[in-house]
Amino acid sequence: MPPSPCALCKVNRALILRPKDHSKLCRPCFLSTFEAEIHHTITSSRLFERGERIAIGASGGKDSTVLASVLKTLNERYDYGVELILLSIDEGIRGYRDDSLETVKRNAQQYGMPLEILGYDELYGWTMDQVVEQVGKRGNCTYCGVFRRQALDRGAAKLGVKHVVTGHNADDVAETVLMNLLRGDLPRLSRTTSIVTSTPSLSADGAGKNTNIKRSKPLKYTYEKEIVLYAHHKNLDYFSTECIYSPEAFRGSARALIKNLERVRPSAILDVVRSGEDMAKLVPGSDEGCGGVCASAVPAGEEEEGGCGSANGRSSGGEMATMEDQLSQNEAAKANGLEVEITSSKIKKSEAPLPLTVGKSRKVPKASQPRKEPKKQVMGQCKKCGYLSSQEICKACVLLEGLNKNRPKNHIEVGYEQEKDVNGATEAMKQLDVGAG
Amino acid sequence: MSQAKDEDTVSITVEFSGGLEMLFANERKLSLTIPVKDENGERPNIAFLVRHLCDTIMKDPRKELFVLDDTVRPGILVLINDADWELEGEDKYEIEEGDNILFVSTLHGG
Ligand SMILES: [Zn+2]
Ligand SMILES: [Zn+2]
């Protein structure tokens, strides 16, 4: 094939084929286009405010590394006037974070940003290794995922930072859209498609006082492929690993489906993201009318943070198990005629039927089974930790309760004094223990 | 270095990144010589290279993390001399002396 010239400068040889529009770009034109599009997302969604302190959820992986690099570039180029810091979470899996935390430390130097590393032990009183010791290797991804979901907010609250940006990319968002459609979880669809969400979390200073943590995804419309290419062509220093506890999590996942769709038609990824946004607008009571841009950001609540390890918004097999619960909410939506409306107006017949194979087979409750009343999802705050939750006690606290209850008795007695002041959550769990015992 | 160039082989550099190196004994960069003709007497292309990597280089049994349906699995980018392989004819690209072929996974790590 003869080399093609760049579609923008018409001079250099094209090296990049853009998935969203098939344009062919040279290296410098690709880098500047990539940055300009993220700048556009930031300004058109008014993500940042001058003077804001912003924590970048940093794992040392490609997404957060590219996010940190691009935000530094844009903050200087366009004078956003924001203060950027790196915030890393250490799950406490022996050896697992060593290299990635080293990468984040190098990034902190390379980008001249302060770095804070907070461990699950500091945030929850349990390292993942301790969780695995307790519950075994199967199912621990649920813990990892639920803890991860709150970790950045809890961490930010601890640091007194009110805005956390994450490296969720278009592929991540498209995956969660598909997962929520497969589950039939329309309320969550709304939350996961918004570019800005907000979450009450326990603030650092006040005992029991809550602070709202804003979350945003500046890379929401950015293809994973282009993130990897940007990192490559800019020679960024990032780290790749797979979660040692779930090497098989990828197989048969919605993620695999997304990548197959991309191979057939690359624009499918952004199409899924946009469709997700459109459908979210139809969800009753959704704040999505403004496209998630308006001041009253959608509560982040139980946003899918993915199962495990290094992944951002990646699904894991275990999550499919919650599908059954969600089916009852489906019923409510059906009663409103919502499902019919979406089917007829928003989903075109696909050109080719794609096998929607996802890890586990979808369990449909038998008609004879008594159905739970479809419960209205009202976002409140967890009574234990203050984190936003649709239940009285948030998932993390429920999991912690189970963990702490089963902690070997002598361990609790011996460990009580030392652990007493680890943090509020642990303390709260102790009280739960007493009550339950 | 002064070694006479073998007429029957092509020397190339193959690189792995984005986590893919884990499937290749953590080797990020390989200098390879491949035959100048493939099984059918044709010039070797990327499809041949991928088979060659699977059959002779890769010791990890999890081949399906690298290939799927006889081609590089979706989610793995291939860069030929820094250019997207889609600009070069994908797995039909005929390999030339001195080429640099980079396989980079997008599937690992956030
Ligand atoms: Zn150009
Ligand atoms: Zn809680």
- B49-63 pLDDT, tens digit per residue, is 999 999 999 988 888
- A248-292 pLDDT, tens digit per residue, is 555 557 878 888 888 889 899 999 999 999 888 877 654 433 333
Give the residue-averaged pLDDT of A226-239.
94
Chain A interface, mutation test: which of B15, B24, B84, most A Cβ atoms within 10 Å?
B84
**pLDDT (0 to 100) of residue A240:** 80
Q: How many domains does chain B have?
A: 1
3 state SS for chain A? CCCCECCCCCCCECCEECCCCCCEECHHHHHHHHHHHHHHHHHHCCCCCCCCEEEEECCCCHHHHHHHHHHHHHHHHCCCCCEEEEEEEECCCCCCCHHHHHHHHHHHHHHCCCEEEEEHHHHHCCCHHHHHHHHCCCCHHHHHHHHHHHHHHHHHHHHCCCEEECCCCHHHHHHHHHHHHHHCCHHHHHHHHCCEEEEEEECCCCCCCEEEEEEECCCCCCCHHHHHHHHHHCCCCCCCCCCCCCCCCCCCCHHHHHHHHHHHCCCHHHHHHHHHHHHHHHCCCCCHHHCCCCCCCEECCCCCCCCCCCCCCCCCHHHHHHHHHHHHHHHHHHHCCHHHHHHHHCCCCCCCCCCCCCCCCCCCCCCCCCCCCCCCCCCEECCCCCCEECCCCCHHHHHHHHHHHHCCHHHHHHHHHHHCCCCHHHHHHHHHHHHHC
A69 vs A324: which has the higher pLDDT: A69
Residue range of the domain that includes B16: 2-105
CATH code of B73's domain: 3.10.20.30
A30 vs A324: which has the higher pLDDT: A30
Give the residue-averaged pLDDT of A384-412.
77
Structural domain spans, chain A = 16-289+298-320
CATH classification of A16-289+298-320, choosing from 3.40.50.620, 3.40.50.300, 3.40.50.2300, 3.40.50.2000? Answer: 3.40.50.620
Chain A residues within 8 A of B74 when measuring between CB atoms: 256, 259-260, 262-263
- A149-163 pLDDT, tens digit per residue, is 889 988 998 888 999
Which among B22, B84, B110 is the nearest to A310, CB-wise? B110
Please indicate, yes or no, if residue B110 is contained in any of the structural domains: no
- A118-129 pLDDT, tens digit per residue, is 999 999 998 888
Give residue A177 CA to ligand 2 midpoint distance, Å.
25
- B3-30 pLDDT, tens digit per residue, is 545 678 999 999 999 888 888 998 999 9
Chain B interface, mutation test: which of A152, A169, A240, A242, most B Cβ atoms within 10 Å?
A240
Give residue A22 CA to ligand 1 midpoint distance, Å.
14
